[in-house]
Amino acid sequence: MSTPKQLKVANKDAVRGLGIKLLIGLPISGLFWTIIFYFFVSNESWNFKILLFFSIFGIFLGGGSIINFAFGSSVYQLWHKLISLIDSIIVWLFLPFFYYLVFFPYSLALRLTGKSKFNQKKIKTSSYWREIDNSKNNKRYLQQF
């Protein structure tokens, strides 16, 4: 039932857009790390090498992508591979974590208090048909429930 990952097709605009984001984004990340380092690792001197490193990286990848499309599309592909990697880590690591540690205890509690309809004792009944609530006004049709 899950959607297969759609292959991102690199077009000129998308590649250029990513180039600009890298050109601006990587130096900002560099600055951020520089600050982190200053306060948490060595609070004596600013280590601007980190900023420089990130910036060169950003200029190289971002600038390169803007100038050369072929280079840009490989950066684009790589970037999206990274994204799908992060995506799968979140999905396959965090979701199971969440399911067992948060969702399961909560549902257990609900089940014990009799809120879950799937675990209620079968009541002897002569019909499984349910009444449909027809007190709808037309506004209901703009709602998603």
Partner 1 sequence: MIKEKKDFQKLTEKSEQSGLILELFSMLKHNKKWWLTPIVLVLLLFGLLIILGGSTYAPFIYTLF
Partner 2 sequence: MILGISAYYHDSAAALVAEGSIIAAAQEERFTRIKHDYNFPVHAINYCLREANISLNDLDQIVFYEKPLLKFDRLLETYIGFAPKGLKSFVHAMPQWLKQKLHLPREIKKNLPDRWNKPIVFTSHHESHAASAFFPSPFEEAAILTMDGVGEWDTATVGVGERNRIQLLKSMHFPDSLGLLYSAFTYFCGFRVNSGEYKLMGLAPYGNPVFKDLILDTLIDLKEDGSFSLNLDYFNYCQGLTMTNDKFANLFGGPPRKSESVITDREINLASSIQAVTEEIVLRMARFTRDLSQKENLCISGGVALNCVANGKLLNEKIFKNIWIQPASGDAGGALGCALFTHYQLMENNRIPSPHDSMEGSFLGPKFENNEIRSFLDKNQIPNHFYSSEKELLKIICQFISKGKIIGWFQGRMEFGPRALGGRSIIGDARNSEMQTKMNLSIKFRESFRPFAPSILEEETSHFFDLDSPSPYMLLVAPIKNEIRRELTNEEKKAMKDSNLLARVKIDRSSIPAVTHVDYSARVQSVTEERNGRYYRLIREFRNSFKSPILVNTSFNVRGEPIVCTPQDAYRCFVSTDMDVLVLENFVLLKTEQPDESFKEKEKYISSFDLD
Instruction: Enumerate binding residues for partner 1 (CB under 8 A).
Output: 18, 21, 25-26, 28-29, 32-33, 79, 82-84, 86-87, 89-91, 94-95, 98, 102-103, 106, 110, 113, 115, 138-139, 141-145
Find the radius of gyration of the CA atoms of the chain: 27
Q: How far is the CB of 117 from partner 2 (least distance, A)?
A: 7
Reading phi first (left if > 0) and then psi (alpha if -120 to 50, else beta), residue 39 is in: alpha
Report the C-alpha gap between 22 and 27 in whole angstroms. 8
Whether 54 contacts 30, CB under 8 Å? yes
- Binding track over 38-77 against partner 2, x by CB under 8 A: ----------------------------------------
Report the C-alpha gap between 36 and 43 in whole angstroms. 10
Q: How far is the CB of 75 from partner 2 (least distance, A)?
A: 24
Single out the residue of 20, 81, 111, 114 in contact with partner 2 (rule: CB under 8 A): 111
